[in-house]
Amino acid sequence: MLLLALALAGCGALPAVGPDYRAPAPELPDRWSTGKTAAPDDPASWWRRFGDPDLDRLVDRALAGNLDLELAAARLRQARAARSQASGAYFPTIAGGVSASRTHGASSLQSSSDRTLYDAGFDASWEIDLFGGTRRAVEAADADLDARRADAEAARVSLVAEVVQNYIDLRSDQQRLAIARANLATQDETLQIVEWRERAGLANRSEVEQARTNREQTRAGMPDLETAIAGALNRLDVLLGQPPGTLRDELAAARPLPAVGPEVAAGIPADVLRRRPDLVAAERTLAAETARVGQVMAQRFPALSLSAAFGWQAYRLGDLGAAGSGTRSLAGSLAATLFDGGRLRAAVAVQDAVQEQALISYRNSVLTALEEVENALADHAAARERLAARQAAADAAREAARLSRRMYESGLADFQKVLDTERTRLSAEDSLALAEASRLASVVKLYKALGGGWTSTENPS
């Protein structure tokens, strides 16, 4: 008992060996080179800004059924169990057992006889955390748990962004297919007009074949769009955790692209450290590896262990527990490694290097995050300008096609002009649809770079 008291007193007095963790403070710019600095509205559920009920339902179903999220949740449960396992080293280990042994003496001995010894009792062992090895192990397990929690949130952020992006691709391809079909119908009418004019002697066979060529070129591009639509639907099915083909009937009808406001506020660079779960995971990994330096260092110091046993022994089963059958023991040991060829010292050096790698990885993750936000801001600004130009071009192309067709019907323009303006209109309308999808994709990219979709806004450290 005296030894135990001294051990507990020493455990409370001695600090844990190894470096105490301090969160790094990376150098960050005061503001982004482009974009607003105000905090975005509700970054946790940013996709609702699109105002699309179908998209909202898809995201909700993906969050409930995606297999990557289930995998991240399983890893989080593993980290919680590992933390409990590490903290269990604070407490003694107690075991109980019952045994019986039969002994047959040698016949040459006068006192030879057959005996059965019954033994029942409890054993306890306890290694005192004198130099903080267990404390550092628990500290590392806590940081690992935070990192796995952040990894789960990072998976959630990526999942939401991928669902939204594939939904945008689906609606964009459906819109482009509808544009192609509308142009195909117009080109069918143009072909009929040219055939009528040929019969009337107002057009030649070459003009008819040119009109037919124009129509078939439009038709040739439609299967690629249908394939892209099927691919987007199948990818959405997998993201929702269901077999491909499940959403085909539900999303088969074309819908307009989602709408979103003209600008997205990016906040300030310091907000990225709070809002991006991958940065939180990198920082928590650094904390865990720093704690493990102390855990390894503690192995170089003496270890104090206590053991105790209490039980009963008797030659008859009924005598177990009777007076005089009790046994007890109490022991303590203090052991230290005197020579190991430098293995423990090398183990500390190895962990120091691992901790240094975690620090470099964290710093690199911060720079990469800043780069992604800057690129996303630039892409978002360019997408807005590109959309405005494509809109103006599509409006002009539609008017030019309308005028050239009327002039051709009135005999004021040749047929080549009609073909050229129709091809230009199809290209301009298709480019406009792509520009609209590109602008929405830039919003997705920007919110993902900012860490949007994470329900927690505070770094666990």
3-class secondary-structure state, position 332: strand
Q: What is the pLDDT of residues 116-169, one digit of tens each?
A: 888 888 999 999 888 999 999 999 999 999 999 999 999 999 999 999 999 999
Helix axes 415-450, 343-409, angle to 10 degrees: 150
Judge whether 295 and 325 are in contact, CB under 8 Å.
no
DSSP H or E run through 143: helix 133-199
CA dihedral of 271, 285, 63, 159, whole degrees rounded to 10: 70
Give the residue among 259, 232, 271 at the shortest CA–CA distance from 370: 271
pLDDT tens digits in sequence order for the chain, 461 residues long: 545 545 554 554 568 899 999 999 898 888 888 766 665 555 678 898 888 999 999 999 999 999 999 999 999 999 999 999 999 988 999 999 888 888 776 666 555 567 888 888 899 999 988 899 999 999 999 999 999 999 999 999 999 999 999 999 999 999 999 989 988 888 888 888 888 878 888 778 888 888 888 889 889 989 999 999 999 999 999 999 999 999 999 999 989 888 876 577 777 888 888 888 999 999 999 999 999 999 999 999 998 899 999 888 888 887 787 787 888 999 989 888 888 899 999 999 999 999 999 999 999 999 999 999 999 999 988 998 999 999 999 999 999 988 988 887 787 777 778 888 888 888 899 999 999 999 999 999 998 998 876 655 444 44
Using CA atoms, how far apart are residues 235 and 62, in angstroms rounded to an integer? 11
Average pLDDT, the chain: 87
pTM for this one? 0.84
CA dihedral of 439, 440, 441, 445, whole degrees rounded to 10: 100
CATH architecture of 2-89+128-302+343-450: Up-down Bundle (1.20)
Q: What is the pLDDT of residues 197-254, one digit of tens each?
A: 788 887 788 888 888 888 898 899 899 999 999 999 999 999 999 999 999 999 999 8
Q: Where are the domains of the chain?
A: 2-89+128-302+343-450
Tokens in use for 202? 């107002």
267 sits in the region (left: phi over 0; alpha: psi -120 to 50; else beta) called: left
